[in-house]
Structure 1
Amino acid sequence: MAQLKVLLTGATGYVGGSVLSTLLSSTNPLLQQLSISALVRKQQQAEVLQTKGVKAVVFRDLDDAELLTRVASEHDVVIHTASGFHLGSASALIKGLGLRRAGTGGKVHYIHTSGSWNFADSSPDSQGTSPTNFSDKSDLYTHLEHLEAQRPFSQRTTLLEVVAASERQDVSAYILLPPDVYGQGTGFFNQHTMQLFDLVKSALNEGRAEYVDGGLGGAGHVHIEDLAALYDVLLARILAGGDVPVGRDGLFFTETGYHSWLDVSKTISEVGVRLGTWETAQPVSISIEDAAERWMGGDQEMLKNSFCLRNNTSPQLALDLGWKPQKTDDDWQRWIEQTFKTVLNDRA
């Protein structure tokens, strides 16, 4: 049997790098036999990955549709982690897999990394005070179509086209919908996500922790190691020929815990008091306009998606596959404190 070929995008990023290192260290015999390639933008990055046994392909950027299609057509599986917002790259990769399918007659698979922001309503401020609960065993696709008709959102637009294009090209597509991802990455390059770091930096700049939207906003979270492990579990199940939801039914939540941003700001305040950074542990509410300027470069829509939503997403499909996340809310709390200490040390 020919060696199966997997192509990974985003290998130098936080999520993609952690996925790559997880696949390379997998104990699953099916995954140990894979030929793994990765798209990178710099020759130096390619050289690092080649020492890890990864076949690196240097490319310009995600707009290089012709190259993406050609490289994808040489692989059986594509794992796209570089961007859930970039429609052109997703379409080009699926097109390439379709060519592979037509040329070899073998099954091809596309794993797309999106996010729970797709479930942002057209008016986040109108949500209730309690989180809205979603299950990935419900008809999420139809709900997303409804939201998209109300207000297009590029990440959601891309997801819907991924499903449609995969159906046209006879490609099996699976979409992961992580919430906020935290923790130390395990990749060979970028090992951090900046959201919490930026929140702590802002608190240190202002001399206090802050929150927005009356403290009602919240989000789910998942540790990067648990998220990367799901890619391992999903890919192993696919390659074993197991029963895996696909296409419109293959939208996988990955949430393992939920936090309110008020609670996060309280934790930041308490850590600051313990470390002697400030005297009071009372966070302060600020306006959406001010928060957008401080945390999101003035982008109020991004601010609302990040800090004003109240969606709780249940990962029942992933658990059914055998995914066993290990991290708890204690790990989330420790990460907030660790982030604070890291930012504080960097400023010293």
Structure 2
Amino acid sequence: MDKSNLIVFMTGASGYIGGSVFTSLLKDGYKEIRVLVRQKEQAEIFKKIGTNVTPVIGSLDDSDQLEKESHNANVVLSTADADHLPSVKAMLKGSSSRHQDKNSPSVFIQTSGTGLLTWQDCFYTQPYDDNNYDDIHKRISITAPHRNVDQWIFDHCPSTNGLMTAIIAPSTIYGIGSGPIKKNSVQVMILALAAVARRKAGYVNPEGYKAQWDNVRIEDVVQLFSLLIDGLLNKSIDHGTNGFYSCCANTHTWGDVAKELGKELKKRGLVDTEEISEFEKQYVDRYLWGENKRQWMDSRGLSNRSKKIGWKPSGKSLFETIPSELDYLISIDYFNKNK
């Protein structure tokens, strides 16, 4: 589809995932890319990027603004917060009204995450298949992370209503992003931050040491976003109730990640030993999401629906990119700024 007459509105363009998706959109020839930012300084950065880029100052709590922007856009991308239901409701209200009022494409993509699959160790013992209806709609608890937002979208945007919606659920994302502001990943690097703070790498609780998570390169997350946007615009892929797409490429254990961080941080003089051990409560509370220990439990998925539309993850593994990510964090003084 020719995109020269299409408008994109997105949240999260100043972040890691959204920023990398934003950079990809610049190559696609959209008429305008409108990005929600919270600060004037961020707006100035986006203003300098291109004549078709328009920063909009606001927040996820500005429901009227989000609804208006979404109504005026053909493609709406929610990449800022997987758990902010009011903003999703506002954006979908705008997208739905556009679909009803105008004879033009209307697409909405919500960014979730496979943190919701950490409930498998309570309710299900096999990896969740994104192409299996029962796995996605019957075996995930409504109290799982992100689930209330995803379920609201499923309930209010069925496959039959014409509005083209999808949910993308990345696993642990790694690699240096390509966005204009935030380029560092989250899960692995906050483990590094906690390790530097106590001068020793580690893991969250003994179960977390053995826990398996899927992972995916940031470039491959961007690849799936591109496939989803094109497929939804062309009305050629599953959407609505069936529009759940996970990004699960490879698998790691948090114990193995801790060992690799210990080795690489020791090389850089940021920890005192390569040995690892369980993080004490003070470090878990300060750096590692505190009581939310489910983020360090098993999370396994199969991305069969994503692969069905042409998604082909490739490139370096999570472990191969840890050295370059650490060097990037050192270059931006990340460890000192986030003590």
Report the residue type matching 2:191 in the other structure: L
1:189 and 2:181 correspond: yes
The separation in 2 between residues aligned to 1:204 and 1:259, in whole angstroms, is: 21
Q: After superposition, where does 1:115-194 map in structure 2 within 5 Å?
A: 115-121=113-119, 132-139=126-133, 140-143=135-138, 146-148=140-142, 152-153=143-144, 155-167=146-158, 170-194=162-186
SS at match of 1:252: strand
Cα gap change, 1:169 to 1:56, in 2 (>3 Å)? farther
- On the 8 A contact 1:119/1:147 being kept in 2, the answer is no
- On the 8 A contact 1:42/1:58 being kept in 2, the answer is no
Aligned residue-pair number: 327
1:20 and 2:15 correspond: no
Q: After superposition, where does 1:1-348 map in structure 2 within 5 Å?
A: 3-25=5-27, 31-51=28-48, 52-121=50-119, 132-139=126-133, 140-143=135-138, 146-148=140-142, 152-153=143-144, 155-167=146-158, 170-214=162-206, 215-241=209-235, 243-275=236-268, 280-286=273-279, 289=281, 292-296=284-288, 299-301=290-292, 304-307=293-296, 309-329=297-317, 332-343=318-329, 346=333
The separation in 2 between residues aligned to 1:96 and 1:14, in whole angstroms, is: 25
- On the 8 A contact 2:184/2:329 being kept in 1, the answer is no
Identity %, equivalent residues: 24
Report the residue type matching 2:43 in the other structure: A
The separation in 2 between residues aligned to 1:53 and 1:317, in whole angstroms, is: 36
Could you tell me the TM-score, scaled by structure 2's length? 0.86
- On the 8 A contact 2:195/2:271 being kept in 1, the answer is no
Could you tell me the TM-score, scaled by structure 1's length? 0.84
The separation in 1 between residues aligned to 2:176 and 2:39, in whole angstroms, is: 23
- On the 8 A contact 2:129/2:304 being kept in 1, the answer is yes
- Unpaired segments of 5 or more residues in structure 1? 26-30
Cα gap change, 1:267 to 1:127, in 2 (>3 Å)? farther
- Unpaired segments of 5 or more residues in structure 2? none
1:83 Cα deviation after fit: 1.0
Cα gap change, 1:212 to 1:45, in 2 (>3 Å)? closer
SS at match of 1:79: strand
- On the 8 A contact 2:154/2:241 being kept in 1, the answer is yes
1:65 Cα deviation after fit: 0.6
1:178 Cα deviation after fit: 0.3
1:84 Cα deviation after fit: 1.0
Cα gap change, 1:57 to 1:280, in 2 (>3 Å)? closer
